[in-house]
Amino acid sequence: MPGMLSGVRVLEIANWIAAPTAAALMADLGADVIKVEPPEGDPYRVMTHRVKEMGFPFTYSPNFQLGNRGKRSIAVDLRRPEAVAVILDIAAGCDVFLCNLLPERREKYGLAEDEIAARNPRIIDISLTGYGASGPERNRPGFDFAAFWGRAGIMTLIGEEGSSPASQRGGMGDHTTALNVLTAILACLRLRDATGRGQRAQVSLVNTGLWVLGANIAQALVDRRQPPRHDRRAPPDPLVNSYPTADGRWLVLGLAESQPLWPALCRALGREALVADVRFATADGRQRNAAALVRELEAAFATRPLEDWRPLLDGAGLPWDPVLLVTEVAADEQARRMGRYTDLDDPVHGRFTTLAAPFNLSEGLPAPTRSAPQIGQHTDDVLREIGYDEARVRHLRERRVVGVPAT
Cβ atoms 366, 2 nearer than 8 A: no
Residue 63 has pLDDT above 90, yes or no: no
Residues facing residue 204 across a β-bridge = 129
Mean pLDDT computed over 140-144:
89
Do 89 and 59 meet the contact criterion of CB atoms below 8 Å apart?
no
* Per-residue pLDDT, 407: 46
Residue 260 has a pLDDT of 85
pLDDT-derived band at 52, boundaries 50, 70, 90:
low
Residue 75 belongs to what H/E stretch? strand 72-75
Query: 269-293, pLDDT tens digit by residue?
Result: 999 999 999 999 999 999 999 999 9
**Rounded distance between C-alpha atoms, residue 326 and residue 14, angstroms:** 28
Instruction: In whole angstroms, give the CA distance from residue 76 to residue 365.
Output: 33
pLDDT band at 55 (very low <50, low <70, confident <90, very high): low
Under DSSP, is residue 90 helix (H, G, I), strand (E, B) or coil? helix
What is the pTM for the complete model shown? 0.89
Q: In the chain, where are the structural domains located?
A: 9-214+338-398, 242-324
Is the pLDDT score of 89 beyond 70?
A: yes
Output the pLDDT for position 170. 81
Return all residues near 65 (Cβ < 8 A) that are at least 6 apart.
58, 344, 346, 352, 354, 371, 372
Please check whether residue 80 is in contact with residue 34, taking contact to mean a CB–CB distance below 8 angstroms. Answer: no
Residue 331 exposure: Cα atoms within 13 Å on the Cβ side: 4
When pLDDT is cut at 50, 70 and 90, the band that residue 364 belongs to is confident
Q: What are the backbone dihedrals phi and psi of residue 134, each rounded to the nearest 5 degrees, phi first?
A: -135, 175
Average pLDDT over residues 196-210: 95
With beta carbons less than 8 A apart as the criterion, state whether 384 and 393 touch.
yes
The whole-angstrom separation of Cα 407 and Cα 26 is 26
pLDDT at 47 over 70: no
- Judged against a pLDDT cut of 50, whether residue 49 lies above it is answered with no
* Whole-number average pLDDT of the chain: 90
Q: Percentage of residues in the chain with pLDDT exceeding 90?
A: 69
* Residue 259 neighbours by CB distance under 10 Å: 12
| Model pLDDT, residue 382 | 96
Q: What is the DSSP string of 269-321?
A: HT-GGGGG-GGGSSHHHHHHTHHHHHHHHHHHHTTS-HHHHHHHHHHTT--EE
- The C-alpha atoms of residue 144 and residue 172 are separated, in whole angstroms, by 7
pLDDT at 36 exceeding the cut of 70: yes
Q: How far is CA 177 from CA 17, 247, 275, 286, in A?
A: 9, 37, 44, 37
Positive or negative, the CA dihedral 227, 231, 232, 233 is negative
- Chain-centroid distance, C-alpha 387: 36
Cα separation, 373 vs 34, in Å, equals 10
The domain made up of 242-324 has a fold known as: formyl-coa transferase, domain 3 (3.30.1540)
Mean pLDDT, residues 332-340: 89
Q: Please choose, from the candidates 39, 113, 35, the residue with its C-alpha nearest in 3D space to the C-alpha of residue 382.
A: 35
**206 half-sphere exposure, CB direction, 13 A CA radius:** 17
Q: For the ranges 75-79, 244-248, 267-271, 400-404, which has the lowest average pLDDT?
A: 400-404
Closest-CA residue to 62 (of 365, 343, 376, 378): 343
> Do the beta carbons of residue 202 and residue 211 sit within 8 Å?
no
The pLDDT of residue 14 is above 90: yes
The pLDDT of residue 406 is above 60 = no
3-class secondary-structure state, position 343:
strand
DSSP 237-279: -TTSSEEE-TTS-EEEE--TT-GGGHHHHHHHHT-GGGGG-GG
Contact 69, 344 (CB under 8 A): yes
| The architecture CATH gives domain 9-214+338-398 | 3-Layer(aba) Sandwich (3.40)
Question: Beta strand pairing status for 350-355 and 341-346?
Answer: antiparallel
Cβ atoms of residues 399 and 82 within 8 Å: yes
More confident residue, 167 or 202: 202
The residues pairing with 50 across neighbouring beta strands, listed in sequence order, are none
Check if 9-214+338-398 and 242-324 are the same fold: no
